[in-house]
């Protein structure tokens, strides 16, 4: 790809996760760039997330992390987070915990605002300046400048073409074939193939274009307590602005000085005492020496005032006699002389600045990249801090203490405890409708996904088994024969392939009639145990399933209804406990309010629950 210079440079960018650079290539979207990078790195989330629901939970995690990122670079790197082998997951976990510690000590709002102004420096397209022409001595010199791209920013001609009429001529001499001495619009420099030496404004455009980035980076590095090369860049740019020349300001200074000279001569003359001889001398049309000395002294003082203010001697522009005036032709010559000189000085200043900044460019870009990388760490650290995440350990059981679903972590959700151990790696989960069974499954999935991503998890303490994949099945509706067959085909790889998995299933009885469902679920549980996998199956038919397999039955217990008929639920499952169902509580509530024949009906129904 021409944007990278070579195929190897492109692959190196992919290996370094430079999604934003790849996405900048015409025809490649950010999503496609992410896919390319993951493919080149040999990783895919689907290798671990084996069902659509598992993928959705994973994508939700990435979206939450991305909400703390402030640059496209960081957001794209977040999109590359995929489950890792244990060793790499532990390395990433250490990185995130360190990021959380760093972020906790910062004013996150201020840092986020500054990070939002940081981006990879833009490379402005060269602007052609028709007022400038670079003149060279030979055709070979001309060809060298065209090859260097100088002709893309200004006109280039040779001595044979004559002297063009451009406003500014840069004579880049190698043999000195042209005599341009005295030409006010000519700047003579030794021949160079570098744009910065001949048209420095073109080279400086990059640094001026990205000034906002340099400023934000400088402020950020100060907050982070790190040195920055940006101060040198900004001081150099500011120095160029200070060298801008305005003849109007100089001309005003001269006119102010002339007015002062005339007023001073008039004032001092009034205090002169004249002898008779001096009066006779004046009557003869001569200026007495005393007056000439006074005139010369005031002119000298006026010249010194101008010299101090402008650094230039303007004596030659004053007319003789009194009142002193400015000679317009002399002033115009002085203007041309000054502007030509100032242009040469400014040009050399720009060349020096372009050379200096060119030497800082690599450091500046490296510093910006380090801040973009910091934004990635900032996003991960902020996510861990904001959601109260803690590190999990890999082990031979699935244990969570004080786990909270990510949807509830920032609003004071009720923490839950749960365990799948060696004796009971698979369990059935029973309990009240709307009691939190699905929330528990999702919380366990989030903990497992976060741990395998190498991130701290949404639990006060957790141990997670190293599994090869997470399967999350949700069946909310009865399935027709075709859908039932698809479900079975999707479930079979779990029990026919080697390696432990985490299987979370929500109300699988909805897939077919109850007797068949209990047999199928019971058989799958037996097979899951044989593979060493971990699983939780939410079901309302625990008794039926337990006829076909020995499995622990856990329950999320509904304690009753409050005065508003809202279910009061103990969100942490009770292990080895079959929870009472929601209908029973509602029936008891209604029975307590009923009377007569209606109460007798409720009594009969409740008696069935007691059998």
pLDDT in tens, 38-87: 878 777 888 899 999 999 999 999 999 999 999 989 998 999 999 999 99
Q: 494 and 603, same structural domain?
A: no
502: Cα within 13 Å, side-chain hemisphere? 28
Question: Does 323 sit behind a cis peptide bond, omega within 30 degrees of 0 on the bond before it?
Answer: yes
Q: 356 and 213, same structural domain?
A: yes
3-state helix, strand, coil in the chain (%, to 5): 55, 15, 30
**How many residues in the chain?**
611
Instruction: State the residue range of the domain holding 594.
Output: 581-611
Q: 538 and 416, same structural domain?
A: yes
Q: 166 and 151, same structural domain?
A: yes
Q: 356 and 229, same structural domain?
A: yes
Q: 197 and 157, same structural domain?
A: yes
Q: Does a structural domain hold residue 178?
A: yes
Give tens-digit pLDDT for 241-257. 755 556 777 777 777 77
Distance of CA 564 to the CA centre of its chain: 48
pLDDT category of residue 595 using cuts at 50, 70 and 90: confident
Q: How far is CA 27 from CA 37, 189, 495, 517, in A?
A: 15, 43, 43, 49
Q: 136 and 210, same structural domain?
A: yes
Q: Does a structural domain hold residue 151?
A: yes
Q: Does a structural domain hold residue 385?
A: no
Of the candidate ranges 40-54, 185-199, 277-291, 352-366, the one whose mean pLDDT is the lowest: 277-291
pLDDT category of residue 356 using cuts at 50, 70 and 90: very high
Higher pLDDT pick, 551 / 432: 551
Question: 261 and 324 in contact (C-beta within 8 Å)?
Answer: yes
Q: Does a structural domain hold residue 263?
A: yes
Q: Does a structural domain hold residue 137?
A: yes
Q: 397 and 300, same structural domain?
A: no
Distance of CA 218 to the CA centre of its chain: 16
pLDDT of residue 388: 96
Q: 309 and 236, same structural domain?
A: no
Q: Does a structural domain hold residue 13?
A: yes
Q: Does a structural domain hold residue 402?
A: yes
If one counts every other C-beta atom within 10 angstroms of the C-beta of residue 349, the result is 17
Checking if the pLDDT of 29 tops 80, the result is no
Q: 291 and 400, same structural domain?
A: no
* Domain total of the chain: 5
pLDDT category of residue 402 using cuts at 50, 70 and 90: very high
Q: 361 and 236, same structural domain?
A: yes
pLDDT of residue 251: 75
Q: How far is CA 81 from CA 88, 378, 465, 466, in A?
A: 12, 15, 20, 17
If one counts every other C-beta atom within 10 angstroms of the C-beta of residue 31, the result is 11
pTM for the whole structure = 0.79
Q: Does a structural domain hold residue 452?
A: yes
How would DSSP label each residue in 473-498? EE--S---HHHHHHHHHHHHHHHHSS
pLDDT of residue 318: 74
Q: 270 and 226, same structural domain?
A: no
Checking if the pLDDT of 128 tops 90, the result is no
Phi/psi at 597 (nearest 5 deg)? -65, -35
């Amino acid at each position: 790809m021409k944007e990278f210079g070579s195929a190897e440079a492109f692959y190196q960018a992919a290996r370094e996760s430079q999604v934003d650079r790849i996405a900048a290539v015409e025809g490649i979207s950010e999503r496609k760039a992410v896919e390319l990078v993951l493919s080149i790195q040999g990783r895919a989330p689907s290798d671990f997330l084996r069902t659509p629901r598992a993928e959705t939970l994973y994508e939700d995690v990435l979206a939450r992390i991305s909400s703390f990122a402030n640059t496209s670079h960081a957001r794209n790197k977040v999109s590359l987070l995929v489950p890792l082998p244990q060793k790499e997951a532990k390395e990433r976990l250490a990185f995130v915990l360190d990021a959380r510690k760093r972020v906790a000590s910062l004013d996150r709002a201020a840092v986020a605002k500054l990070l939002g102004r940081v981006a990879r420096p833009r490379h402005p397209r060269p602007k052609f300046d028709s007022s400038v022409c670079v003149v060279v001595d030979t055709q070979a010199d001309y060809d060298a400048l065209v090859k260097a791209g100088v002709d893309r920013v200004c006109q280039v001609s040779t001595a044979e073409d004559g002297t063009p009429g451009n406003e500014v001529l840069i004579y880049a001499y190698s043999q000195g074939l042209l005599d341009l001495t005295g030409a006010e619009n000519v700047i003579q420099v030794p021949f160079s193939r570098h744009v910065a030496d001949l048209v420095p404004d073109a080279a400086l455009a990059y640094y001026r274009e990205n000034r906002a980035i340099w400023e934000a980076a400088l402020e950020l590095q100060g907050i982070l307590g790190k040195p920055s090369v940006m101060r040198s860049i900004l001081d150099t740019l500011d120095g160029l602005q200070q060298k801008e020349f305005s003849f109007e300001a100089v001309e005003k200074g001269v006119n102010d000085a002339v007015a002062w000279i005339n007023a001073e001569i008039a004032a001092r003359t009034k205090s002169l005492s004249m002898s008779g001889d001096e009066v006779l001398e004046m009557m003869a049309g001569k200026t007495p020496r005393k007056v000439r000395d006074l005139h010369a002294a005031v002119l000298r003082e006026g010249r010194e005032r101008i010299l101090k203010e402008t650094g230039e001697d303007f004596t030659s522009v004053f007319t003789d006699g009194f009142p002193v005036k400015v000679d317009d032709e002399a002033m115009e010559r002085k203007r041309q002389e000054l502007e030509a000189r100032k242009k040469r000085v400014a040009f050399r200043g720009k060349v020096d600045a372009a050379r200096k900044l060119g030497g800082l460019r690599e450091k500046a870009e490296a510093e910006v990249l380090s801040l973009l990388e910091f934004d990635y760490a900032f996003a991960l650290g902020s996510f861990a801090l904001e959601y109260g995440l803690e590190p999990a350990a890999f082990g031979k059981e699935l244990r969570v203490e004080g786990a909270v679903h990510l949807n509830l972590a920032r609003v004071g959700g009720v923490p839950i405890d749960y365990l799948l151990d060696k004796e009971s790696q698979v369990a059935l989960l029973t309990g009240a409708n709307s009691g939190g069974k699905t929330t528990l499954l999702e919380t366990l999935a989030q903990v497992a996904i976060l741990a395998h991503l190498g991130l701290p998890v949404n639990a006060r303490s957790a141990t997670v088994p190293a599994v090869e994949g997470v399967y999350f099945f949700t069946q909310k509706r009865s399935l027709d024969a075709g859908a039932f067959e698809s479900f079975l085909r999707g479930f079979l790889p779990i029990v026919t392939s080697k390696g432990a998995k985490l299987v979370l299933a929500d109300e699988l009885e909805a897939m077919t009639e109850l007797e068949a469902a209990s047999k199928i679920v019971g058989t799958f549980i037996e097979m899951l145990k044989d593979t060493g996998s971990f699983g939780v199956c939410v079901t309302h038919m625990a008794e039926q399933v337990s006829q076909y397999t020995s499995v622990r039955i856990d329950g999320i217990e509904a304690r009753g209804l409050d005065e508003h008929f809202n279910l009061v639920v103990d969100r942490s499952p009770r292990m080895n406990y079959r929870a009472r169902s929601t209908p029973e509580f509602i029936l008891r509530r209604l029975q307590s309010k009923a009377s007569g024949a209606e109460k007798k009906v409720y009594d009969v129904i409740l008696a069935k629950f007691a059998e």
